[in-house]
């Protein structure tokens, strides 16, 4: 059996994890499927009890959860708190407050022709959700799909990233303990480790797949899911635009901009990757962010005295350097870089300095490819039309942030950006509003998690119609269209359509008279035949 090498991002100590084989994955899915059939019968009250136990544990053990994430991915404790703890707690809080409401049957209008019917939508569990998640937020990326899946009555198998397997297996034990505390089936949630073939096995056996990763792998997931025709939700990263208009408070926005690019060392799906600043404040904005970036120090995240931690993977620093070198070769200029604390020689490639780069344009790979690193490329714009065109000139479409002293102005620009979410005078605030759906368009993927949309995406959505006043009023096939159909059948249908949907009351009344006339004639004909 091939092993997975995971490493402590501070010490570079290698940790071996087992790879789940194809047969093992299918076996795990079947175990979860059996457990899910029991879980589907639980009440929302029982499911909320599970969530409360998790929430209590998370709040009490914030430091431990953040330290585990820090050791496996290199992020600082503050970055882990923001991206792992707060997001997950907000998700649980929203499910406790509103989850049941969005999963209860929803009654809809029955229309004119079905006035005697009641119409509703029911939300039933799909069965086993398969989640294949990324490494950048190992705690939240496990808990996010798990919480939605279990609250909607499903089981789940989560394939964690081979780059964050150690932390994922630890977090799995938290879920197991919470399930045991409420007497839930122990096999309801499974976490598996492995490489591409492990993910393929999960796609081929689950009832729905949620994938967080790259567009290339996302396309492979889609091809695999097409074999069994299961639904897929894809979140494939972004190249989010951060737009700064001429009437902002530069000092205020600069601080938000730096957080937007440096959160988790830039390894953030919804991180800002392209900065467009109005030319009238361009110099002052660059000056301010340069001042802040130069004050940032990167170093071992658990030391507690550094602003930014490490990259999760050694090879990622090479990619970032390649993007920056390509930009410099095409005329860009580095105007500021942060500094490093004491880093061992064997870990130097695990870090990349916070970087501000100017004179960029869209011919550069840095402005087209997802960097996923602490790099702030800043470009000037002169008009709203220009910046909207620039922001939309990307194969990605996850989110955007627009800043202006005039909120309606910022809102107008944001409405023209082709993406899945927008923050007006803020950065990534939409994700902390867990009532909202999260997801993108274009190469950022499709489908949503978060909000009612994400919760219901874990469900079989079933339309149901039944008699409103049963058994007093039942469906009866009108005589003219009963088999064998009468000669007047089409005349009856034609009049019935106009009686129901005519544009004026007078037209509908005339058509109703025609309907009654056909029915009367049909009754007379049938009576004559009986005689």
Q: 431-450, pLDDT tens digit by residue?
A: 999 999 999 999 999 999 99
Smallest Cα–Cα separation from 47: which of 55, 123, 192, 127? 55
Same domain, residue pair 139 and 286: no
Q: Is 241 helix (H, G, I), strand (E, B) or coil?
A: strand
Same domain, residue pair 430 and 517: no
Same domain, residue pair 205 and 343: no
Cβ(345)–Cβ(306) under 8 Å? Answer: no
What CATH number did the domain enclosing 428 receive?
3.40.309.10
Number of domains in the chain: 3
Give the separation between CA 377 and CA 330, rounded to whole angstroms: 13
469 in a structural domain: no
Range 195-200 average pLDDT:
93
Same domain, residue pair 274 and 413: yes
- Asked whether the bond before 74 is cis by omega within 30 degrees of 0, the reply is no
Same domain, residue pair 401 and 375: yes
Share of the chain above pLDDT 90, in %: 89
Same domain, residue pair 490 and 455: no
Kindly list the strands in the beta sheet with 208-212, ordered across the sheet, starting from the edge strand earlier in the chain.
189-192, 155-159, 128-132, 208-212, 232-235, 445-446
Comparing 526 with 183, the larger pLDDT belongs to 183
Q: What integer pLDDT is reported at residue 527 of this predicted model? A: 62
Would you please indicate which residues are annotated as catalytic (active-site) residues?
A: 235, 269
Question: Residue 344 — pLDDT band, cuts 50, 70, 90?
Answer: low
The 10 Å Cβ neighbour count of residue 234 is: 23
Range 482-497 average pLDDT:
95
Same domain, residue pair 219 and 245: no
Q: What integer pLDDT is reported at residue 9 of this predicted model? A: 52
Same domain, residue pair 274 and 364: yes
Smallest Cα–Cα separation from 286: which of 358, 390, 381, 337? 358
pTM for the whole structure: 0.93
Range(s) of the domain holding residue 299: 240-434
Question: Residue 168 — pLDDT band, cuts 50, 70, 90?
Answer: very high
Find the DSSP H helices in 130-233. 138-151, 165-181, 196-205, 215-228
471 in a structural domain: no
- Crossing angle of helices 489-501 and 505-530, in 10° steps, is 150
443 in a structural domain: no
Q: What integer pLDDT is reported at residue 14 of this predicted model? A: 47
Q: 216-248, pLDDT tens digit by residue?
A: 999 999 999 999 999 999 999 999 999 999 999
14 in a structural domain: yes
377 in a structural domain: yes
Same domain, residue pair 216 and 262: no
Same domain, residue pair 249 and 182: no
Q: 96-122, pLDDT tens digit by residue?
A: 999 999 999 999 999 999 999 999 999
491 in a structural domain: yes
331 in a structural domain: yes
Average pLDDT over the chain, rounded to whole? 94
472 in a structural domain: no
Same domain, residue pair 117 and 184: yes
Same domain, residue pair 381 and 504: no
Residue 19 has pLDDT above 80, yes or no: no
Residue 289 has pLDDT above 90, yes or no: yes
């Amino acid at each position: 059996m091939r092993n997975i090498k995971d490493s402590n991002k501070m010490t570079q100590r290698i940790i071996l994890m087992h790879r789940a084989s194809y047969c093992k994955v299918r076996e795990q899915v079947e175990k979860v499927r059996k457990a899910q059939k029991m879980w589907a019968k639980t009440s929302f009250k029982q499911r909320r009890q599970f969530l409360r136990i998790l929430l209590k544990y998370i709040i009490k053990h914030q430091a431990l959860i953040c330290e585990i994430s820090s050791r496996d991915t290199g992020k600082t404790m503050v970055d882990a708190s923001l991206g792992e703890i707060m997001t997950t707690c907000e998700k649980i809080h929203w499910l406790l407050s509103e989850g049941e409401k969005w999963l209860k049957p929803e009654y809809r209008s029955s229309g004119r022709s079905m006035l005697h019917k009641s119409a509703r939508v029911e939300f039933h569990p799909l069965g086993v959700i398969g989640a294949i998640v990324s490494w950048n937020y190992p705690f939240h990326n496990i808990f996010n799909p798990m919480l939605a899946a279990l609250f909607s009555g499903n089981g789940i198998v989560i394939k964690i990233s081979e780059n964050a397997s150690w932390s994922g297996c630890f977090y799995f034990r938290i879920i197991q303990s919470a399930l045991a505390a409420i007497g839930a089936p122990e096999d309801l949630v499974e976490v598996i480790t492995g490489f591409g073939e492990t993910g393929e096995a999960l796609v081929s056996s689950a009832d729905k797949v949620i994938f967080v990763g790259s567009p290339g792998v996302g396309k492979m997931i889609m091809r695999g899911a097409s074999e069994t025709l299961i639904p897929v939700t894809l979140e494939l990263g972004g190249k989010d635009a951060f737009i700064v208009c001429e009437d902002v408070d530069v000092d205020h926005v600069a601080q938000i901009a730096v957080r937007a690019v440096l959160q988790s060392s830039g390894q953030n799906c919804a991180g800002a990757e392209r900065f467009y600043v109005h030319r009238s404040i361009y110099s002052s904005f660059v000056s301010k962010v340069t001042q802040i970036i130069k004050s940032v120090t990167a170093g071992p995240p658990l030391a507690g005295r550094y602003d930014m931690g490490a990259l999760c993977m050694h090879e990622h620093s090479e990619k970032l350097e390649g993007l920056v070198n390509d930009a410099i070769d095409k005329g860009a200029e580095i105007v500021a870089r942060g500094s490093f604390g004491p880093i061992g020689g064997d870990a130097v490639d695990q870090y990349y300095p916070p970087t501000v780069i100017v004179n960029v344009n869209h011919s550069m790979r840095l402005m087209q490819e997802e960097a996923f690193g602490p790099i702030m490329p800043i470009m000037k714009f002169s008009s709203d039309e220009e910046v909207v065109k620039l922001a939309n000139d990307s194969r990605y479409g996850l989110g955007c942030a627009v800043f202006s002293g005039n909120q309606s102005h910022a809102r107008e620009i944001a409405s023209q950006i082709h993406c899945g979410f927008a923050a007006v005078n803020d950065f990534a605030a939409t994700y902390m509003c867990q009532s909202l759906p999260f997801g993108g368009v274009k190469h950022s993927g499709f489908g949503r998690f978060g909000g009612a949309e994400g919760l219901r995406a874990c469900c079989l959505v079933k339309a149901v119609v039944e008699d409103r006043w049963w058994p007093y009023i039942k469906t009866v096939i009108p005589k003219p269209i009963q088999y064998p159909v009468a000669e007047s059948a089409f005349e009856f249908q034609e009049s019935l359509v106009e009686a129901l949907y005519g544009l004026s009351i007078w037209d509908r009344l005339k058509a109703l008279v025609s309907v009654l006339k056909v029915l009367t004639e049909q009754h007379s004909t049938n009576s004559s035949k009986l005689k």
